[in-house]
């Protein structure tokens, strides 16, 4: 019975890694579509989000079954409850990648953002991709040094996100209301993607150490 239980826990862990890898693919493709006003790639991201949703629901059902049937305690219980919470964060990251793709589709064939913010959003996208890749690696390896890398990337995202709003508040901002709304939403989507990556990192840290860190422990 114990071997079966451990096999179920392993499958749940593998499921998280699979979802995380798909999220990484989603944000990479969404960023490419966003930068190039690439409708086809945007459509691929939107369609692929259903797979992430399906895997999350399947993982949650399996985790709940383990809770109900196995009665896990201590570290095993932390693993299952943590997996439920991490799957929710990963699913939300997939949603945010989809939102970025949807913005691209909405404004096609035009760019979502003005030229003046191209480099800022390129860097936001790069950092989100870094976070996605490191979250997948962290779930696989449980190497807590990666948590610091995720924190550093999120700190940079926060600064860029703030700079976007500073740009829009400047006297020389003369873009339309629609563009202003698009820029606001896009910046928020990229920023929130990083937030959920940090949330997963906190939960992995908890699983490894048994200590729950405060929400601002990754703030740099």
pLDDT at 207: 86
What total of structural domains would you count in the chain?
1
Would you say residue 218 has pLDDT above 70?
no
Would you say residue 114 has pLDDT above 60?
yes
Would you say residue 137 has pLDDT above 90?
yes
pLDDT at 213: 63
CATH code assigned at 160: 1.20.58.220
- Tens of pLDDT, residues 28-63: 999 999 999 999 999 999 999 999 999 999 999 998
Range(s) of the domain holding residue 106 = 2-209
Under a CB-based contact definition with an 8 Å cutoff, are residues 140 and 14 in contact?
no
- The answer to the question of residue 214 being in a domain is no
**How far is residue 67's CA from residue 214's CA, in Å, rounded to a whole number?**
26
- The answer to the question of residue 215 being in a domain is no
- The answer to the question of residue 106 being in a domain is yes
**How far is residue 140's CA from residue 157's CA, in Å, rounded to a whole number?**
24
pLDDT at 220: 42
């Amino acid at each position: 019975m114990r071997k079966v239980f451990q096999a179920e826990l392993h499958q749940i862990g593998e499921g998280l890694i699979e979802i995380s890898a798909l999220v990484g693919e989603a944000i990479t493709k969404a960023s490419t579509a966003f930068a190039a006003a690439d409708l086809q790639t945007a459509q691929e991201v939107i369609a692929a989000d259903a797979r992430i949703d399906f895997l999350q629901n399947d993982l949650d059902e399996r985790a709940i079954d383990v809770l109900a049937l196995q009665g896990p305690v201590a570290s095993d219980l932390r693993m299952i409850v943590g997996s439920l919470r991490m799957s929710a964060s990963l699913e939300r990251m997939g949603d945010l990648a989809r939102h970025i793709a949807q913005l691209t589709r909405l404004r096609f064939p035009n760019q979502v953002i003005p030229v003046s913010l191209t480099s800022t959003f390129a860097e936001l996208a790069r950092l989100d991709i870094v976070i996605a890749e490191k979250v997948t690696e962290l779930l696989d390896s449980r190497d807590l040094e990666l948590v610091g890398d995720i924190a550093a990337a999120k700190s940079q995202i926060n600064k860029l996100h703030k700079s976007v709003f500073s740009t829009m508040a400047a006297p020389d901002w003369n873009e339309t209301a629609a563009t202003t709304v698009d820029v606001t939403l896009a910046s928020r989507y990229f920023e929130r993607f990083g937030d959920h990556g940090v949330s997963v990192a906190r939960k992995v840290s908890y699983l490894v150490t048994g200590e729950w860190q405060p929400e601002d422990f990754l703030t740099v």
